[in-house]
Chains A and B, each alone.
Chain A
Amino acid sequence: AQSVTQPDIHITVSEGASLELRCNYSYGATPYLFWYVQSPGQGLQLLLKYFSGDTLVQGIKGFEAEFKRSQSSFNLRKPSVHWSDAAEYFCAVDPLTGRRALTFGSGTRLQVQP
Chain B
Amino acid sequence: DSGVTQTPKHLITATGQRVTLRCSPRSGDLSVYWYQQSLDQGLQFLIQYYNGEERAKGNILERFSAQQFPDLHSELNLSSLELGDSALYFCASSPGTSGGLTDTQYFGPGTRLTVL
Interface string of A26-52 (1 = CB under 8 A from B): 000000101010000011111001010
Within 8 A of A (CB), among B1-19: 2, 4
Q: A residues within 8 A CB of B100?
A: 100
Stretch from B67-75, B79-87, B102-110 forming part of the interface with A = B102-110
Cα distance, A36 to B90, chains bound together (Å): 13
Q: Please tell me if A101 contacts chain B, counting CB pairs below 8 Å.
A: yes
Q: How many A residues touch the partner, as a band?
A: 20 to 34
The distance in angstroms between the C-alpha atoms of A90 and B42, with both chains bound, is: 10
A43-B90, A90-B43 known; A101-B33 Cβ under 8 A: yes
* A107 partner, pick from B42, B57, B108, B109, beta carbons under 8 A: B42
In the assembled complex, the CB of A11 is this many whole angstroms from the nearest CB of chain B, namely: 17
How many Å lie between the Cα of A45 and that of B90 in the bound state? Answer: 12
A101/B107 contact (C-beta < 8 A), A43-B90, A45-B2, A51-B102 known: no
* CB of A17 to closest CB in B, whole Å: 27
Given contacts A46-B107, A49-B104, A101-B56, 13 further A-B contacts (CB under 8 A): A32-B102, A34-B104, A43-B110, A90-B43, A99-B45, A99-B56, A100-B48, A100-B103, A101-B45, A102-B35, A102-B92, A104-B43, A107-B43
With both beta carbons as reference points, the residue of chain B lying nearest to A98 in the complex is identified as B56
Chain B residues with Cβ below 8 Å from A107 are 42-43
| Interface residue B28 (Cβ < 8 Å from any Cβ of A) | no
Q: Which residues of the partner chain B approach A103 to less than 8 Å between Cβ atoms?
A: 45
CA of A36 to CA of B37 in the docked complex: distance in angstroms? 14
